Structure 1
Amino acid sequence: MKQPLIALALAGLMTAVPLAMADEQERVDHFEAKPSETLVEAVANFTEYNEKLAAILESEELNDEDMGNIHQLSYTIEEALAKIHTELEAVAATLEEVHIGSETGDYEGVKSNGEAYLKTAWTVVR
């Protein structure tokens, strides 16, 4: 049950990435984000920093220190989400190749693209 929810949450959050990225040009960065250079790093950072955010938000009331911590966490979450978004756009294109290949009888293309698709898909949902 947890994995489909994670995938659904990631899909829903993908719509927020373009907005966050657009605002990025207008903001001054105050903290350095933990790098998310690969999809594996991005998913790990996304999970870890969302858990930290959830722990802070469990408080009955937020204080100034909480707000500062949330602000700092948000940089890593945003960077991870941007990487996930980029990777999911690419994997969507790969899945489309699988779809088209299945319609046209491209056995080799379906096999290679299907394997590439699953490699990325499993990274996100496992």
Structure 2
Amino acid sequence: MTSLLRISTLITTLSFSGLAVATDVVHFEGKASNTLPEAVANFSEYNDKLEAVMEGELTPEAMSEVHQLSYTLENAIAKMSKELDSLAETLEEVHLASESADTETVSEQGAAYLETSRELVE
């Protein structure tokens, strides 16, 4: 009976200590991506950093680094996603204007589309 009580106490202690570790996660802001070029640069740089960490052993230290890197990557992806949604709307304006031979809209919105799209590729 004493052994059963000790095992039960040990299991309870380990359960609560595991819970403490799981809830003590530190959150970071990550590097900001305020513009599309900044987001693209951060995305590229931090993907390289993530790849380098993942090429090694995924130790607790490496996992912490992955955790920190993910914040900047999430910021970059969020900005790129927002910009790509807007870019798709601009391209749709170009598309519709081309169907109706609206040269003014194609010229204006086409230029806006190309300016933004070129920020994605270098």
2:81 maps to 1:85? yes
2:51 maps to 1:49? no
In the TM superposition, what is the alpha-carbon distance from 1:54 to its structure 2 partner? 0.7
SS state at 1:125 partner = coil
2:63 is matched with which residue?
Answer: 67
- CA distance in structure 2 between the aligned counterparts of 1:101 and 1:31, rounded to whole angstroms: 44
- CA distance in structure 1 between the aligned counterparts of 2:74 and 2:115, rounded to whole angstroms: 23
Larger radius of gyration: 2
2:30 maps to 1:33? yes
In the TM superposition, what is the alpha-carbon distance from 1:33 to its structure 2 partner? 1.2
Q: Which amino acid aligns with 1:81?
A: I
Unmatched 5+ residue regions in structure 1?
A: 1-27
In the TM superposition, what is the alpha-carbon distance from 1:46 to its structure 2 partner? 0.6
- CA distance in structure 2 between the aligned counterparts of 1:87 and 1:32, rounded to whole angstroms: 20
- CA distance in structure 2 between the aligned counterparts of 1:96 and 1:31, rounded to whole angstroms: 37
| 1:33-64: CA deviation from partner (whole Å, max 9, x where unpaired) | 111111111111111101100111112x3111
> More deviation in 77-86 or 116-125?
116-125
> More deviation in 38-47 or 82-91?
38-47
Residue among 101, 108, 111 paired with 1:105:
101
Of structures 1 and 2, the one scoring higher in RCO (CA 8 A, sep 6+) is 1
Give percent identity, aligned residues only. 56
Q: Which amino acid aligns with 1:94?
A: T
1:120 is matched with which residue?
Answer: 116
In the TM superposition, what is the alpha-carbon distance from 1:29 to its structure 2 partner? 6.4
Q: CA RMSD in A?
A: 1.2
2:5 is matched with which residue?
Answer: none
Q: Which amino acid aligns with 2:55?
A: E
